[in-house]
Amino acid sequence: MAVEDAMTIDERRKYLCKMQQRYRAAGRAEKGRLLDEMAAVTGQHRKSLIRLMQGELERQPRQRERGPQYGREVVRVVRVVAESLDWVCAERLTPNLKWLAEHLAGQGELELSADILFQLEAISVSTVRRLLAATPRDRPRLPRGGPEQANRLARAIPAERIAWQEQEAGHFEVDLVHHCGPSASGNYVHTLQMVDVATGWSERVAVLGRSYLVMQDGFERILARLPFPIVELHPDNGSEFLNDHLLRFWQDKVQGVRLSRSRAWHKNDNRFVEQKNDSLVRAYLGYDRLDTVAQTCFLNRLYDQMWLYHNFFQPVMRLADKQVLPRADSRSAKIVRRFDQAQTPLDRLYAAGNLTPQRQTDLTALRANANPRTLRRTIYDLLDQLWALPLAVPTRSEDVYLTLFQAQDSWKGGDGSVTLSNERTVPVR
């Protein structure tokens, strides 16, 4: 019997309860035939089935609970790895425990033995889920914020959605997250996010406003860092994406890129990037307002750390199968989804085969030299510093040119000012 076809304990007991009535009422020859049938269905030995048919099938409570199977060292390793990944779920954590523990050991965060590695490979998802539920956390995760011209451009771009079972890397959903707070007045920061459907690879940059200048600059930042080619771009119908300037930019910058867009009023056409808007943007930044040059430059520094942390170390699960169960009795139709084993976007990118040998070597070395625990601490430290920056002064305008990629912005401590490569300094008041 294949592993995926094996019965659960509850399913087997329910089946045997039905067969027990037939077994007890049958003659000797019929009992033998029923035992053959039950052995083929359940995979159990005939002697075990005879004992079950002659006894009570009601499951009895344990007289004594089992002791813990995994020692303190294994529990500690699971907790350290979980903390390094910012407490991801057990389904994403368990298949990646072993290699992440070995990676952290190479960074000096853990001490491992062969026995611990063997147990990490054997530990189940349910056990990891129980360990995580009983683990106190150092800090909780943050809570989970021209019509005719536009129509003319939109009509030339097909309205559809990227298939969830897309296997080729490079098909990106694109969206813009607003950081305006309770009021959308004035100029404020946006997060431009791109998510690859096949691998879960995500890119984020912060831009001040939504002009074609900063949007083009945001895409240039992404192109300079993206390790594999873009095949398709799939934004929504916003005019910040569908305008002559950006369409011309993509035709000139990336030859052969395919453009598609979501259908009007169908937010789920961009389902992958919408989900990442929540888990990778709102979960960290919430719905507060950001509206200064300093905050934009600092947020891009934060996103540089998140790029390495989430793409190289955070396992993601991908939908493997989807079935629609028809209505039965009074119950409505139900969609049953099954997911594959959790892997990091980088590992999925390796499997997709879209990387050149040199680029794959560079990315492997980059992950080998990175410490996910240090990255996580850096991300939260940067968040604390970001919220310490003041908002824009109403009487003073912010110069968006100071946020552009060409300016090669960098952060200088001390007086809390942003110093750019052209030596101009923006004071933070």
Could you please report the per-residue DSSP string of 69-134? SS-HHHHHHHHHHHHHTTS--HHHHGGGHHHHHHHHHHTTS----HHHHHHHHH--HHHHHHHHHT
pLDDT computed for residue 69 by the predictor:
83
pLDDT computed for residue 138 by the predictor:
65
Q: Per-residue pLDDT for 151 more than 70?
A: no
Domain boundary among 92, 110, 133: 133
Place of tokens 């000096």: 108
Q: What is the mean pLDDT of the chain?
A: 86
Could you read off the pLDDT of 92-122 as tens digits, one per residue?
999 999 999 999 999 999 999 999 999 999 9
For residues 270 and 388, membership in a common domain is answered with yes
In a domain, 67, yes or no: no
For residues 276 and 355, membership in a common domain is answered with yes
Phi and psi torsions of 398, nearest 5°: -95, 135
Least confident of 1-10, 17-26, 93-102, 289-298: 1-10
For residues 240 and 374, membership in a common domain is answered with yes
In a domain, 336, yes or no: no
For residues 50 and 77, membership in a common domain is answered with no
* Percentage above 70 pLDDT, the chain: 89
* Beta-strand relationship, 171-179 and 202-208: unpaired
- CA 322 – CA 344 distance, rounded (Å): 22
Q: Per-residue pLDDT for 425 more than 80?
A: no
Q: Per-residue pLDDT for 414 more than 50?
A: no
Contact 273, 195 (CB under 8 A): yes
In a domain, 59, yes or no: no
For residues 124 and 181, membership in a common domain is answered with no
Stated as kind and residue range, the H or E segment containing 224 is: helix 212-225
Neighbouring CB atoms inside 10 A of 347's CB total 17
Q: Per-residue pLDDT for 247 more than 70?
A: yes
Least confident of 129-138, 181-190, 288-297, 352-361: 129-138
Name residues whose C-beta falls within 8 Å of residue 1's C-beta, 6 or more positions apart in sequence. 43
For residues 129 and 259, membership in a common domain is answered with no
For residues 212 and 258, membership in a common domain is answered with yes
Place of tokens 């996910």: 372
- CATH number assigned to the domain comprising residue 313: 3.30.420.10
Domain boundary among 87, 108, 133: 133
Q: Per-residue pLDDT for 158 more than 60?
A: yes
> How many distinct structural domains can be found in the chain?
3
In a domain, 247, yes or no: yes
- CA 221 – CA 206 distance, rounded (Å): 10
Q: Per-residue pLDDT for 191 more than 80?
A: yes
- For residues 282-287, average pLDDT: 95
For residues 252 and 381, membership in a common domain is answered with yes
Residue type, 421: S
pLDDT computed for residue 149 by the predictor:
52
In a domain, 33, yes or no: yes
Q: Which residues of 72-100 are buried (b: 16+ CB within 10 A; e: fewer)?
A: eebbebbbbbbbbbbbbbbebbbbbbbeb
Q: Per-residue pLDDT for 419 more than 50?
A: no
Q: Give 367-370 contacts, CB < 8 A, sequence gap 24+.
A: 367/103, 367/312, 367/313, 368/103, 368/106, 370/308, 370/312, 370/313
- For residue 103, the enclosing domain spans 72-133
In a domain, 8, yes or no: yes
Residue type, 11: E
Q: Give 319-323 contacts, CB < 8 A, sequence gap 24+.
A: 319/164, 319/165, 322/164
